[in-house]
Structures are given as C-alpha cells and as structure tokens.
Amino acid sequence: MKRSDFPANFIWGTATSAYQIEGAVSEDGRGPSIWDTFSHTPGKTKGGDHGDVACDHYHRYPEDIALMKELGVNAYRFSVAWPRILPEGRGRVNPRGLDFYNRLVDALLEQGITPWATLYHWDLPQSLEDQGGWPSRETAYAFAEYADLVTRHLGDRVKHWITLNEPWCSAYLGYHAGIHAPGQQNFKHSIWASHHLLLAHGLAVPVIRRNVTGARVGITLNLSPGYPASPDPADVAAARRFDGFQNRWYLDPLYGLGYPADMLALYGEAPSVQGDDLITIAAPTDFLGINYYSRAVVRNSDLEPYRFQYVRVGEEHTDMDWEVYPEGLYDLLIRLGREYRPKAIYITENGAAYPDAVADDGGIHDLERVRYFQRHLALCLEALQHGAPLKGYFAWSLLDNFEWAEGYAKRFGLVYVDFPSQRRRIKASGYWFRDFLREAVASS
Ligand SMILES: CCOCCOc1ccc(-c2cn(C[C@@H]3NC[C@@H](O)[C@H]3O)nn2)cc1
C-alpha cells in the first residue's frame, strides 16, 4: 500500500488538541477549564499530571509547524481553547486568546498546511461547569455564541470546522464513569450532557455556515465496532446494546433518526429534548470525523444500565491495553457508508500509544507504531476501494502529549517529546509517515 494508491486529493494530516499540547494555562488572559480543575485534583490523573506546560506549544508552535512541514502533511487538526477566547465561557472576549489562533493559522497557511479547527475538545470553561456544565441546556447556547465569535474571527482563513470532539467521552467519561473532567458519576446528568452536546453541535452548524464562506462543517465521534464474545444470543444482544451506547446514541440523532428506541427503553431515562431539538441536531453536515483506535468485544452482563461487559481478546495490544484490530476500522467504514451515508468521512484520529524510549543511537525505534499505521492505512484503502466515502486521514498525534487521565506516560506521537527539556525528536514512525507521503512526489 502506497500513497499513490489513494486519491490524489486525499487529505493527509496530523491531529492534536489545545489542552493536551498548549500549556501556558494562565498566560495572556486564558481562564480555567474543567481539565485545569480536574487534573489538579489529587488522584484524578496518573502521577498528578496536568496540562500547565504540556508541550509548551503556545510558545513553540513555529517549531511544531516546521515538524509538520518536514513530515509532509497537507493538513493539521488542532482545537481552539474556549477558555482562551472567553475566559468566563460567555461575555468578555480575550483578544490575546484570539491573537494566538490568528498567529497559528497564519503560520500554517504560510507553510501550505490547511488548518482544520475543532471548536470543542473537552476544555469547557470552569465557570460554565459551575453554572451546570453540559447537563445544563444553557451550555449549548453558550457554545453557539462561542462558535459565532471564533468563526467570525478565523473563518476568512479556516474553512474546515469540527464542532465537537468525541461527545461520548465528554458525556459518559465526564459525567457517568467520572474518569474524565468534570468527574461526575451521575447517569441522568450524562444523558442530559449527551443531548446538550448534540444540541450545541446542531446550533453551531448554521452559525458556522453563516460566518464562513465555503465552510466544510462536521463533527468527530469516537466510534468502535462491537462484536459478541460468542454466538450466544445473549452476547449478540449485548453487542447491540454496546453499539447503541457507543455509536448509535450519537449517529442516529445526527443523521435524522432521533435517539435509538432500544436504548431509550434500556435507559428508562429520556434526554432533555425540547421543541425542534432533534431537527436542530440533524443539521446537514459536510463530513463525519471518525476517531478509531480499536474494537470492543462484549458479553452479556446484568450490570446496569448498559448490561454488557468488555472481554479482553487478541494477541496484540497497545500501551493503552487496546487490542490492535485494523479490521474493525474496515467494518466501521463500510457500515457507516451504507447505514448513515455521510457525504464524506475523515479519519480525524488514528494512532497508538507505545512505551517509546530514546535508544543509545538517539533514535526512537517505534516499529510497532509503524506497523499499526501500515495495517490501519491498508484497511482504509480497502474500505475506500469498496465504496466508503473516505476522503482523508489524520494521525493521532503529531506530538507525545497529555493523554488525559493517563497523563504523559502514554505516548501517541509521531514526534517524541522529552518533557523536561521540551526537545522534539521525530520517531521512526514519523520518518515512515514522511517517506510514505513523499512517495507520490517521487512517482508523479
Ligand atoms: C470507565 C471505563 O471506561 C472505559 C473506556 O475509557 C476510555 C478512556 C479513554 C478513551 C479514549 C482516549 N482516546 C484518545 C483521545 N481521543 C481524543 C484525543 O484527545 C486523544 O487523546 N480516545 N478514546 C476511550 C475510553
């Protein structure tokens, strides 16, 4: 599999997010987010890691853009930090926050790299959480105001907009499992949060289209195909419940089907739908972003409310203990193309954490990660050849960074970051990606 097997206009990028790489959390007027609060709460993140400095990207972005140029990507997916723009979440605008993203976007365009901006990548301003957070409908309205402000300022140069990153993580991990910020364990709040996140997306889509000529708008979901641990009908039904929990709860409303009836019955908890919410949520989009890491294999369980249990399978796992299963990406792409018929699909994240180390020769020989990318890209190509509307691929991530509750120990980067010195080193996987992307130039 080589780059020229893909369409010539295929998008090749890398992805990051603000809280995971920027640092400078109290600089130039940025306000606190729920991840500042959560990561500074003892016991919430591995080793008490937090994003105060992270990769110091706020200051080092020219160097990081030079790395993207060296890798040869033609696009870069980053997120705008809401608390940099609106420190209290609403009202007072922080011009120095807008200035940073103006500088970042201009520097990307200068290098011929197309900016793809995610508006929300989990760093909700703390003051909005204090007023109810995503379980409150007001937060959806605040998001629409934030989206209006940012797209009015950047929309002349940024044409690709992702409203939300992984609303499932924000709602389930943040408000029910409690392992992500804000760390609540309240099922009802997680259901309300999921609805207001989707509503926020739906409210923002027309705002972005109004502000940005030629806008391409979408949302990014972390989707996992679910497989039954056995042919036992109870396990097959459990896999269907997992699929509803992880995938259909978001896909169905976004594609005009409303919330899945089987999950509404299972949960016995109705989302806080009002008026035309479901029409708003189903606002037509230009693409679906998919973050794919692995599949789920599940069996039946009496564990309420989801009534499935994960089963660990497979011979090969990443440092996150996720099974390496590229076939799941193929199955997902084919299914989505057939069942939801998105205009376009972009893999907005795919990658793997491995315990990288600097070898005696100064290199980082992350050959498992090279293999991970090769196998997943091969299955992307196969899905594309079998009709999936796949138009681009963003590797997660450009840099080793703050992997949320796992902290800095989980390294996903194509580029190794030595955090004490902030020195960047391109890994073997980065050089592989660079050579893969250069191939078309050599053969054209
Ligand atoms: C209570 C049990 O819970 C089990 C599932 O727990 C998780 C945790 C984490 C993830 C997870 C992490 N990532 C990578 C990020 N995507 C966005 C970008 O910021 C990357 O850092 N994707 N999914 C999924 C599930």
The closest-lying atom of ligand 1 relative to the alpha carbon of residue 177 is 1
Pocket residues: Cβ below 6 A from ligand 1: 17, 20, 165-166, 169, 173, 177, 179, 222, 291, 293, 349, 396, 403-404
Q: Is it the case that residue 440 has pLDDT exceeding 90?
A: no
Give me the pLDDT at residue 269, please: 86
Which of 161, 155, 189 shows the shortest CA–CA distance to 174?
189
Active-site pick, 166, 269, 316, 323 = 166
Pairing of strands 423-426, 415-418: antiparallel
Task: Convert the pLDDT of each residue in 308-336 to its tens digit.
Answer: 999 999 999 999 999 999 999 999 999 99
Quick check: 441 pLDDT over 60? no
Give 132's pLDDT tier (boundaries 50, 70, 90).
very high
ipTM of this predicted complex?
0.96
User: Angle CA(173)–CA(175)–CA(176) in degrees, nearest 5?
Assistant: 70
Domain ranges in the chain are 3-443
Q: Is 138 among the catalytic positions?
A: no
| Mean pLDDT (the chain, rounded) | 98
Amino acid of residue 395? A
Ligand 1 pocket mutation pick from 166, 294, 400 by most atoms within 8 angstroms of CB: 166
CA distance 271 to 264: 9
Q: Read off the pLDDT of residues 49-83 as tens digits, 9 standing for 90 and up.
A: 999 999 999 999 999 999 999 999 999 999 999 99
Distances (CA, A) of 131 to 88, 90, 92, 124, 243: 11, 11, 16, 12, 32
pLDDT > 80? residue 142: yes
The alpha carbon of 43 and the centre of ligand 1 are apart by a number of angstroms equal to 18
Indicate which residue's Cα is closest to atom 11 of ligand 1.
Answer: 169
CATH topology (fold) of 3-443:
TIM Barrel (3.20.20)
Indicate which residue's Cα is closest to atom 1 of ligand 1.
177
pLDDT tens for 178-217 read 999 999 999 999 999 999 999 999 999 999 999 999 999 9
For 258-297, write each residue's pLDDT tens digit: 999 999 999 998 899 999 999 999 999 999 999 999 999 9
User: How far does residue 168's CA lie from ligand 1's centre (Å)?
Assistant: 9
Ramachandran class of 98: left when φ > 0, alpha when ψ lies in -120 to 50, beta otherwise:
alpha
**Which 3 state secondary structure label does DSSP give 385?**
helix
Q: Is 269 a catalytic residue?
A: no
pLDDT for res 443: 52
Share of the chain above pLDDT 70, in %: 99
Quote the pLDDT of residue 411: 98
Residue 20 in marked binding region: yes
Q: Is 9 annotated as a binding residue?
A: no
